[in-house]
Amino acid sequence: MNNIATYREAIQRCRELLERAQAVDLSEPMGVSLATVDVDGQPSVRMVLLRGFDERGFVFYTNSRSRKGRELDHNPRAALCFYWDALREQLRVQGKAERVSDEENDTYWEKRPRLSQLAAVASRQSEILEDPQILVDRVAELERRYENGPVPRPDHWYGYRVVPARIEFWTGRDGRMHERSIYEDSGQGWTSFFVYP
């Protein structure tokens, strides 16, 4: 039976789980699989880093000219999947992907390490690279160009926020007795329910 659940309850559970993951000794606790779909319906998945989270959704940043950027511009729907083996926990999120504001983009860009800024400007993400030395040379040329000044954020580099329409909490149990708890926007409010593992 579906019980009415508030979105705020689901987000609070996400917040608590993300905090627990960050408290464990993991190399990338905010690493998350991001799935998108191309114009032909072919799904594609890759790892990105979660860079923001609040009641509005889950934020990651990328070059919008990359494969994922192009796919999100065509079909602004995405799925995220976090898995923390040390916790025996998984968090899955599905929803609409929207661009974050220029202010948010600039604020995050300014916090990035300088080399990451230079590499983001130099990279033609997802395009064919004939020789890795080309990227190294491009970064070195940009370092000379900007010397000690700030590296400007490219117009095509920004964040996407995945606004949840469905959130699943998976907890691993012995004997495959896993717990799967779903929060979902029914179109008439959020509901919560369990599903079989």
Q: Does residue 67 carry a catalytic annotation?
A: no
Q: What is the pLDDT of residues 30-59, one digit of tens each?
A: 999 999 999 999 999 999 999 999 999 999
Residue 136: predicted pLDDT: 96
Task: Supply 136's token pair.
Answer: 């190294």
Structural domains of the chain ordered from first start: 3-111+157-195 (2.30.110.10)
Q: What is the mean pLDDT of residues 108-118?
A: 96
d(CA 163, CA 75): 14
Point out the catalytic residue in the list 15, 67, 176, 180. 176
Measured on CA atoms in the order 143, 69, 54, 16, is the torsion positive or negative?
negative
Query: Could you tell me if 105 and 165 are in contact, meaning their C-beta atoms sit under 8 angstroms apart?
Result: no
CA distances from 83 to 39, 72, 97, 112, 128 (A): 28, 23, 21, 25, 31
Give the predicted TM-score (pTM) of the model.
Answer: 0.92
